[in-house]
Amino acid sequence: MSNKVYVTREIPKIGLDILSKYFEVEVNKKNRPLTKDELISKIKGKDAVLTQLTDQIDKEVLEKADTVKIFANYAVGYNNIDIEFAEKRKIIVTNTPEVLSDTTAELAWALLFAVSRRVVEGNNYVRKGKWKQFSPKLLLGQDINNKTLGIIGAGRIGKAFAKKSIGYDMEILYHNRSRDMEFEKEYNAKWVDMDTLLNKSDFISLHVPLTDETYHLIGKNELDNMKKTAILINTSRGAVIDEEALVKALENEKIWGAGLDVFENEPVVHNKLLDMDNVVLLPHIGSASTETRDKMAKIAANNIVQVLNGKDPISQVK
């Protein structure tokens, strides 16, 4: 009998085709994440599960996953899975690193451009019929050229973000647990402590995973420490920022603006953010390009193929 695989949301065909070649595959066809009860009942008797970042694979789920050998997460981030408990249960967890780094970095730049040059405000202005004539002081934004870029978290995505600043003559500051001399040399990036990064950067972009250490990494004190003209970009995980503190900082003009692809309680967005002009809000689409989602589907599927064939996965989370 062939192995059974459960896929918690429909992913690109390329991934499903790989799985269907070897296994009996069941896909959640509902256009929404499963509830915990649905999830627990669906993974019963399955050998592998392909999960999304919206699936909470906690102790309760893992305890009931008797037959599951691998959870293949369709994301680079895996804060939705209790990794330690999975390891205790000898269940393999994999993610989809590398293939989405440039795509996510591009979205961080899209947000930075959109906020600094007020692209969404301008678009709404035109569409609402408010544009009556050219105006010399209409929608004045900020230059990106020659500014100081602050990158918090210099993993693959943070570095890809830094790389894309070439051409804008920027000074690059970064903060990371460890220094990377090669990166510093290649991009003329300077490692600084957190305080220095916060008060010297014109634009700050977050590229850390969500862990106990990075939860609310950016709170009231950190926001107070930023320039009044600072723009904060977040394409990592919402809870890296204390959203309530961010709302207050934006309301009180402690910083200039924010570009957010992720939120503390997705898909719920703080209702005050919804009314602010100086923020651009996106529905967690950092890796959402056709090419990259295909690559993610392939990696996630191949991780399952490897493990169910008794081989090492391609990208195991440790």
**Active-site residues: which are they?**
237, 266, 284
Eight-class DSSP state of 101: H
Pick from 34, 39, 76, 151 the residue near ligand GLV by CB under 6 A. 76
Burial of 2 from C-beta contacts in 10 A (0-12 / 13-18 / 19+): exposed
| Segment interacting with ligand GLV (CB under 6 A) among 108-116, 149-157, 239-247, 308-316 | 149-157
Length of the chain: 318
Please give the C-alpha separations between residue 212 and each of 29, 197, 216, 217, 263, in angstroms, as whole numbers. 34, 21, 9, 10, 17
Q: By CB under 6 A, is residue 165 in contact with ligand GLV?
A: no
Q: By CB under 6 A, is residue 150 in contact with ligand GLV?
A: no
Q: Between 53 and 249, whose beta carbon lies closer to ligand GLV?
A: 53
Q: By CB under 6 A, is residue 157 in contact with ligand GLV?
A: yes
| Whether the Cβ atoms of residue 31 and residue 52 lie closer than 8 Å to each other | no
Q: By CB under 6 A, is residue 77 in contact with ligand GLV?
A: yes
Whole-number minimum distance, CB 155 to ligand GLV, in Å? 3
Q: Between 98 and 180, whose beta carbon lies closer to ligand GLV?
A: 98
Work out whether the CA dihedral 203, 206, 212, 216 comes out positive or negative.
positive
**Contacts of ligand GLV in 278-317 (CB under 6 A):** 286-287
Whole-number minimum distance, CB 297 to ligand GLV, in Å? 12
**Contacts of ligand GLV in 198-217 (CB under 6 A):** 207
Pick from 97, 238, 259, 313 the residue near ligand GLV by CB under 6 A. 97
Edge-to-edge strand ranges of the sheet holding 70-73: 24-27, 4-7, 48-51, 70-73, 92-94
